[in-house]
Amino acid sequence: MTVAELNLLDQPSFIGAIGWVFEQSPWVAERAWASRPFANLHALHSALIDQVERASFTERLALLEAHPDLGSRARLSTASTTEQSGAGLDSLTPPEFEQLHRLNTAYRARFGFPFLLAVKGSTKHDVLRSLQARIESSPEDEYREALRQVYRIARFRLEDLIAS
């Protein structure tokens, strides 16, 4: 699909095409639809981010909470499954899995949402190092960093979907 083709879609079709890009949060695409036409992928991504930034704190927190814990054995979206396996999170050793589970639990207890990292191009070791480092962040800093990671995840997903 191209950006030009997306620009021609009615709102339900637009949401159907890219509503999944922000994990279980089709409201982002629904609200961005009115900003068409998009000149390119960057403009589309920026319009989506703008809708998240305009959303209430409660909506943004729900967006963060919609993401699965990295390395979890829980039911994942197709996109999350592909992204996590690409980072080797589907092949953790038992000690690595235990470490990731322990850090995920501590992170969620500290911040109230799952650890978010755009894992494309990362290894399981990169993920564990990042989680260990970021658990020390302030709640305000980590909230903004989690949103930045969600935006990166969305960008990667759009790049995989949209033909240049």
The CATH number that applies at residue 50 is 1.10.3330.10
How many structural domains comprise the chain?
1
Q: What is the pLDDT of residue 76?
A: 46
pLDDT one-digit tens code per residue, 55-84: 999 999 999 999 988 876 544 456 654 555
Contact assessment for residue 117 and residue 69, using Cβ atoms and an 8 Å cutoff: no
The pLDDT tens digits for 108-157 are 999 999 999 998 888 888 999 999 999 999 999 999 999 999 999 999 99
SS3 content of the chain, % helix, strand, coil (to 5): 65, 0, 35
- Helical ranges in the chain per DSSP H: 3-7, 11-18, 27-32, 41-54, 57-65, 78-86, 94-111, 124-134, 139-161
Question: What domain range includes position 15?
Answer: 3-161
Instruction: State pLDDT tens for residues 26-57.
Output: 999 999 999 999 999 999 999 999 999 999 99
**Per the structure block, which two tokens stand in for 31?**
């609200």
Q: How far apart are CA 124 and CA 92, in angstroms?
A: 8
Catalytic residues: 67
